[in-house]
Amino acid sequence: MNHIRIHLFDQVLSLHSASGQEIARYRVSTAAKGAGQQMGSHCTPLGSHRIRARIGRGAALNTVFVGRRPTGEIWTEELSRTYPARDWILTRILWLCGNEPGFNRLGQVDTMRRYVYIHGTPDSVPMGIPGSIGCVRMRNRDIVDLYDRVDAGTPVQIEAR
């Protein structure tokens, strides 16, 4: 099974084959507040995770999701100006679940209950620098490519370095 490694320091997500060979690399944007596990921290959680759910199969590029459901909107600059405070979740969602009880699973550190995703974002959002409120943001074409290469259950390792 393929697996994912996310390096917060480098702002890179890499996809690896079962044998460990890197097969894809993408620039990402993780939390502006850095790494952290706590509910409400707006930080990107560290450690061993897995993809709990894949959401958005077949959705058009820039499809807007709220509460993991498509709104019927397609993101545009005009829509963005109309709703300037929205945290745009676009195109596809890979919902993460922690594997380490007490660290990133259960209680006040539960990655899934924090709604931490790997997801698409407007192409105007910079990649390679932290800027999210906890999720891992990707270019829309990149999240489609990644989505098509992984399954629910795919391991995801998030590292500070």
8 Å CB contact between 119 and 91: yes
Q: Please state, as a whole number, how many other Cβ atoms lie within 10 Å of the Cβ of residue 51.
A: 21
Residue 119: which pLDDT band, with cuts at 50, 70 and 90?
A: very high
Q: What is the mean pLDDT of the chain?
A: 97
The pTM assigned to this predicted structure is 0.97
pLDDT of res. 98: 98
Q: Assess whether pLDDT exceeds 90 at residue 29.
A: yes
Could you give the angle at the alpha carbon of 114 between the alpha carbons of 110 and 118, nearest 5°? 105
Alpha carbon separation from 104 to 36, 38, 49, 113 (Å, rounded):
9, 8, 8, 10
Q: Assess whether pLDDT exceeds 90 at residue 161.
A: no
What is the set of domains in the chain, with CATH numbers? 3-159 (2.40.440.10)
